[in-house]
Chains A and B, each alone.
Chain A
């Protein structure tokens, strides 16, 4: 068996150098200060995103720029896999599946829009990744599918097939894609749990800690968003939660789920699990707008908390899976920030407002 130094020595040194680049706040600062999208693309070019900038030069299409950035991210993350082996490699691969899941969901949404709602999706398929990320999926077949069986055939042989088989065209026509997408997300979370659990020693402790934190944060967001704002029925709400970790198992959560959706006291779950979060949401919010603002604040706080935990991981033992996981997180965050900022520039949003919304 390889020692931790042998396993992570090279890749972690490489990633730490890259993390230094990602953490450089200058790119974000320069993007914010750019006067227009054209200038923002100039900034991207300066910071080494030449490929994305070239895409913009040739197409003028911001969504294709975002796709190019995502492609770079995928290639980068795929490269990390190459330097790892065994359970660590499997976990990274599973995390890479998250990007694939989002891409698959986008493809199914396009199909849904075209086949069920008969809305033209025209050029939008150009914004999908068509190559294999982790599983073999025929995206062309999905967007052009006539029946739901065509979609199942397009993911044949992958774990998505089993998830999709639980649904029928009629069910989707009536209920939409929410349940199907939730099932995919739940299954993915199972895989991440299994992959984290199969690690050993420090790696397992770190991966499980991050997994549990992420599950808790996601569950809180869903409890607040769907349980409080959308007033989802108890049974349905319970079904969309990730069945792991503290928040899910908590008695206060169970009571909250079983309560009348109109009378749910959101503070109860927050107070029980994260006392510092109870400042963000109040059940007495008098308007939808106020509720949305409160949820937004809460989510922002939770993402910040998540970021802090990843940062803490970087300060721990050097030869563990913490560095690849933190890199994964930072890379995703960097992608979202860049996309958010160039998007803001495209719509002419004020720099301060972009900053407030994204950072």
Chain B
């Protein structure tokens, strides 16, 4: 992983028009070109270029692709993705034909669905009857046992409109229906020449049999319903290869059209331009050359020729650091050519978490939760994200390990000091039982450590900023800004004042003359920054605001800048005390649970239960809190020193481009 964002080059190519399709395929296959619209040609030349209408209706392609996805979703299978795409599989497009296939397939499923619906409605009636029998509402149910004079099948068919169940036996016929349909049922039975049996034993037997029949019928419908449900899934799965082939072709055409939308045409040639990471330039050039059979001209532009704010930024991060890259990109994209902060974020975030949530046992639990949820998602890729999302499950593994290391450093396992600490016993220090002779004796010492830790983080942020400013050649900002050398000078003076004040037992401030002089110089540096930039820009012929406006702005902004510098750095530094605060709270909570567990009258079972519950509570609440606070410290205390987030992300059109 490079410490900086990747170097980029702008390629502009002219290829013979008849070879443009092959070039599109080659570019798609490599997937390294972040296309730009050609606008930097002289207007008369630009006027000669034309754009072609895409070969196909992109909206229709996308809609058809999404229709396939919706169908596949119904089979509970993993949706096709970019890993299946191969440029060589691309064939001519027939959206109408695909739609016809989908319509016919959907219609065939709808037929089964209709049957499934009817079956379910039948099941609903029977389950209503069964429900009434089970809750003793027999007055809602009508059971009849008797004989008929006409055809059984006919009677059975007529009764089915009412959801009635009918059973034929050697000696009798039994019917089971809802009392609310009595009027109609009686009419139907009368038409069939029904004679109710007067024999009590037959009545009893008939009632019993029809109730058994109800259960059997419901079981058989349930089985049939399940079979139908599976048959639909199987039907979709059987069609899956065809659907996936169509999906891939649609997706390939979608991407090709996306590439073509950046193409400009003359009568016989095609012109396009795009950004490529420097290490890919040769590969891309060779691909264009080969696809166009040498009938092309390729031109390279250096990034230095273009304003850096228009250059896309590729941040290369090894897989190991991916969760932290997300933290960076969630905030913003680094500017082109500046330092990629992912490394620093990874170290800062994990070390902060470690200091706030240091426990070997609880860290192991976090690691375990992370591992379990990660593999559960891997096993079931269709599973929707739960509270512990895919991203969080990976992060939990890192945090678990960090917490375990913290546990070893401070000798804490599930809140107990079982193992000797590598540095100092956090638990003993917080509880006021620190071993004599150790460097850390009380909570003030812990607070001091986190303040020093914060100062280091802030200075790392400032140094990154200085490097970035040197790269961007912003020397005025480097020298005179709040986050430049002036800011660092003022911050250092502030730290010195604070140090003297604390070491004098909070009684005296330093009175050295150089402090006053340095503060005056710092304030003046902040004041001259704006006029200096104005003067340089004006001299360079850049468009600037009016002089009076610049003076007005400077005088208005200066006091604010001063105030922000002094209060900002102080609050940023003190903000790191939360690292100690959460660490102390963590130990105190565990101590409280320990005391509760050992309290008078507490049996060992209850004691263990309290400790288990206490650990669960601390893992859930403190873990979450430490995670959020670490993120906050990174975003507000660290990033604000160097990270503008003004970069634009490098997003080449490739087979891996994310589909909507």
Name A residues whose Cβ lies closer than 8 Å to a Cβ of B: 30, 33-43, 45-46, 48, 50, 53, 57-62, 64, 114-115, 118, 120-123, 125-126, 140, 143-144, 146
In the bound complex, CA of A59 to CA of B118 (Å): 9
Residue contact A39 to B225, C-beta cutoff 8 Å: no
Residue contact A38 to B74, C-beta cutoff 8 Å: yes
Residue contact B384 to A50, C-beta cutoff 8 Å: yes
Chain B window 38-82, contacts with chain A (Cβ cutoff 8 Å), 1 for yes, 0 for no = 000000000000000000000000010011011111100000000
In the complex, 28 of the A-B residue pairs with CB atoms within 8 angstroms, ordered by the A residue number, are: A30-B66, A33-B67, A34-B70, A38-B70, A38-B74, A38-B109, A39-B67, A40-B70, A41-B70, A42-B69, A42-B71, A57-B229, A58-B225, A59-B116, A59-B120, A60-B113, A60-B119, A114-B180, A120-B163, A120-B184, A122-B125, A122-B163, A123-B122, A125-B128, A140-B137, A144-B178, A144-B179, A144-B180
List, in ascending order, chain A residues with CB within 8 A of B115's CB: 60
Residue of A nearest to B68 (CB): A39
In the bound complex, CA of A50 to CA of B110 (Å): 19
Residue contact A123 to B125, C-beta cutoff 8 Å: yes
A88 to chain B, nearest CB (A): 28
Interface: B140 (CB within 8 A): yes
A104 to chain B, nearest CB (A): 18
Residue contact A43 to B128, C-beta cutoff 8 Å: no
Interface: B309 (CB within 8 A): no
Residue contact A126 to B74, C-beta cutoff 8 Å: no
Known contacts A123-B122, A143-B180; decide if A42 and B132 are in contact (CB<8 Å): no
Residue contact A42 to B103, C-beta cutoff 8 Å: no
Interface residue SS majority, chain A: helix
Residue of B nearest to A119 (CB): B184
List, in ascending order, chain A residues with CB within 8 A of B225's CB: 58-59
Most buried by B among A42, A53, A58: A42
In the bound complex, CA of A225 to CA of B66 (Å): 42
List, in ascending order, chain B residues with CB within 8 A of A122's CB: 121, 125, 161-163
In the bound complex, CA of A143 to CA of B112 (Å): 31
Known contacts A35-B67, A126-B124, A144-B178; decide if A60 and B106 are in contact (CB<8 Å): no
Interface: B544 (CB within 8 A): no
A sample of 15 more A-B contacts (CB under 8 A), given A42-B72, A144-B180, A146-B179, is: A33-B66, A42-B71, A45-B73, A45-B74, A46-B69, A57-B232, A58-B120, A59-B116, A60-B114, A61-B121, A120-B161, A123-B124, A126-B121, A144-B137, A144-B178
Known contacts A50-B384, A114-B181, A118-B184; decide if A123 and B121 are in contact (CB<8 Å): yes
In the bound complex, CA of A204 to CA of B275 (Å): 59
List, in ascending order, chain B residues with CB within 8 A of A53's CB: 74
List, in ascending order, chain A residues with CB within 8 A of B124's CB: 123, 125-126
Residue contact A61 to B120, C-beta cutoff 8 Å: yes
B97 to chain A, nearest CB (A): 14
List, in ascending order, chain A residues with CB within 8 A of B71's CB: 38-39, 42
Known contacts A33-B63, A46-B70; decide if A144 and B110 are in contact (CB<8 Å): no
List, in ascending order, chain A residues with CB within 8 A of B229's CB: 57-58
Interface: B107 (CB within 8 A): yes
Residue contact B103 to A144, C-beta cutoff 8 Å: no
Most buried by B among A38, A53, A62: A38
List, in ascending order, chain B residues with CB within 8 A of A146's CB: 179
Number of A-B contacts (CB under 8 A): 113
List, in ascending order, chain B residues with CB within 8 A of A42's CB: 69-74
Most buried by A among B128, B131, B132, B180: B180
Residue contact A140 to B162, C-beta cutoff 8 Å: no
Residue of B nearest to A64 (CB): B120
Residue of A nearest to B181 (CB): A120
Name B128's contact: one of A36, A61, A126 (CB within 8 Å): A126
Residue contact A60 to B67, C-beta cutoff 8 Å: no
Interface: B438 (CB within 8 A): no
In the bound complex, CA of A76 to CA of B507 (Å): 59
Cβ-closest 6 pairs across A and B: A42-B70, A60-B116, A36-B106, A123-B121, A126-B124, A60-B117
List, in ascending order, chain B residues with CB within 8 A of A45's CB: 70, 73-74
In the bound complex, CA of A140 to CA of B129 (Å): 11
Which residues 489-526 of B sit at the A interface, judged by CB distance below 8 A?
A: none
In the bound complex, CA of A41 to CA of B72 (Å): 11
Residue of A nearest to B102 (CB): A35
In the bound complex, CA of A33 to CA of B293 (Å): 42
A20 to chain B, nearest CB (A): 18
Residue contact A118 to B110, C-beta cutoff 8 Å: no
In the bound complex, CA of A40 to CA of B124 (Å): 24
Interface: B656 (CB within 8 A): no
List, in ascending order, chain A residues with CB within 8 A of B74's CB: 38, 41-42, 45, 53, 57
Residue contact A37 to B110, C-beta cutoff 8 Å: yes
List, in ascending order, chain A residues with CB within 8 A of B116's CB: 59-61
List, in ascending order, chain A residues with CB within 8 A of B109's CB: 36, 38
Interface: B99 (CB within 8 A): yes
Interface: B268 (CB within 8 A): no
Residue of B nearest to A62 (CB): B117
A232 to chain B, nearest CB (A): 32
Interface: B282 (CB within 8 A): no
In the bound complex, CA of A50 to CA of B385 (Å): 13
In the bound complex, CA of A126 to CA of B113 (Å): 18
In the bound complex, CA of A123 to CA of B228 (Å): 20
List, in ascending order, chain B residues with CB within 8 A of A43's CB: 70
List, in ascending order, chain B residues with CB within 8 A of A41's CB: 70, 74
Residue of B nearest to A130 (CB): B131
Interface: B183 (CB within 8 A): yes
A264 to chain B, nearest CB (A): 42
Residue of B nearest to A111 (CB): B180
A147 to chain B, nearest CB (A): 12
Residue of B nearest to A121 (CB): B180
Known contacts A57-B229, A58-B229; decide if A35 and B99 are in contact (CB<8 Å): yes
Residue contact A38 to B113, C-beta cutoff 8 Å: yes
Residue contact B180 to A115, C-beta cutoff 8 Å: yes
A76 to chain B, nearest CB (A): 18
List, in ascending order, chain A residues with CB within 8 A of B132's CB: 140
In the bound complex, CA of A63 to CA of B360 (Å): 54
Residue of B nearest to A40 (CB): B70
A41 to chain B, nearest CB (A): 7
Name A144's contact: one of B63, B122, B140, B161 (CB within 8 Å): B140
Residue contact A118 to B73, C-beta cutoff 8 Å: no
Residue of A nearest to B64 (CB): A35
Residue of B nearest to A60 (CB): B116
A139 to chain B, nearest CB (A): 11
In the bound complex, CA of A62 to CA of B118 (Å): 11
Name A123's contact: one of B67, B110, B163, B180 (CB within 8 Å): B163
In the bound complex, CA of A104 to CA of B191 (Å): 36
Residue of A nearest to B107 (CB): A36
Residue contact B184 to A46, C-beta cutoff 8 Å: no
In the bound complex, CA of A64 to CA of B118 (Å): 12
Residue of B nearest to A45 (CB): B73
Chain B window 179-204, contacts with chain A (Cβ cutoff 8 Å), 1 for yes, 0 for no = 11101100000000000000000000
A125 to chain B, nearest CB (A): 6
In the bound complex, CA of A60 to CA of B106 (Å): 13
Residue of A nearest to B119 (CB): A60
Residue contact B180 to A59, C-beta cutoff 8 Å: no
A172 to chain B, nearest CB (A): 16
Residue of A nearest to B118 (CB): A60
Residue of A nearest to B179 (CB): A144
List, in ascending order, chain B residues with CB within 8 A of A64's CB: 120
In the bound complex, CA of A144 to CA of B137 (Å): 10
B141 to chain A, nearest CB (A): 9
List, in ascending order, chain A residues with CB within 8 A of B121's CB: 61, 122-123, 126
List, in ascending order, chain B residues with CB within 8 A of A140's CB: 131-132, 137, 140
A8 to chain B, nearest CB (A): 24
A182 to chain B, nearest CB (A): 26
Name A120's contact: one of B110, B131, B162 (CB within 8 Å): B162
A219 to chain B, nearest CB (A): 37
Name A46's contact: one of B73, B107, B178, B183 (CB within 8 Å): B73
B542 to chain A, nearest CB (A): 41
Residue contact B180 to A36, C-beta cutoff 8 Å: no
